[in-house]
Amino acid sequence: EGWVQKKAGYGWAFSPMLTTPDSLLQSYRLRLALEPAALLEPGYRLDPDLLARCRAAEHHLLDGGIETDTPDQLHDRGVRFHESLVEGSGNPFFIDTIRRVNRVRRLLSYRSMKDRARYEQHCRQHLHVLDLIEQQRLQDAAEALRDHLGHTLDNLGRIRNILTP
């Protein structure tokens, strides 16, 4: 997953991307630059079945999954949502980058799940982005996604203390 690298000689070293709470915040700043841009790629298209699956996952959380899903399930749902949006761009560079970022941020994102109060707002923001994509209002969807990621970045800054190991 890119979490550790073999040292010259003996031993292993953790990636410097995973050693501080700033790492998670930096990953969100990258996503803030990349994900909204993906929605504006020429020919952007999100498969209607995939859109429906993303919508169902958000409704599952709003119907109680926020409290009952495991951290792994919550993380995977968020990853699937955001990777699905980027995959609609058809741009392999965007897709590869978002997948790599999601793999290396998994451990840090688990710590941020101690505070689940923000998930209802996240779900509603995700549903709003999906509505805009479905209506082919991609500029508005990109702005809504930018706002969503910006709010998440702000929230993570406020819970920085629980991100510290």
pLDDT at 3 over 60: no
Measure the CA dihedral 75/50/84/58, to 10°. -40
- When computed from its CA atoms, the radius of gyration of the chain, rounded to whole angstroms, is 16
Contact (Cβ atoms closer than 8 angstroms) between residue 15 and residue 99: no
- 26-50 average pLDDT score: 95
Burial code (b: 16+ CB inside 10 Å, e: under 16) for 82-120 equals bbbbbbbbebeebbebbeebbebbbebbebbbeeeebbe
pLDDT at 18 over 70: no
Q: What is the DSSP letter of 63?
A: I
Contact (Cβ atoms closer than 8 angstroms) between residue 132 and residue 49: no
Contact (Cβ atoms closer than 8 angstroms) between residue 1 and residue 14: no
What backbone torsions phi and psi does residue 15 show, to the nearest 5 degrees?
A: -60, 135
Of 11 and 161, the structure prediction assigns the larger pLDDT to 11
User: What confidence tens digit (pLDDT) does each residue in 90-124 have?
Assistant: 999 999 999 988 877 666 665 556 667 788 999 99
Q: What is the mean pLDDT of the chain?
A: 86
pLDDT band (50, 70, 90) for residue 12: confident
Q: Is pTM, for the whole model, over 0.85?
A: no
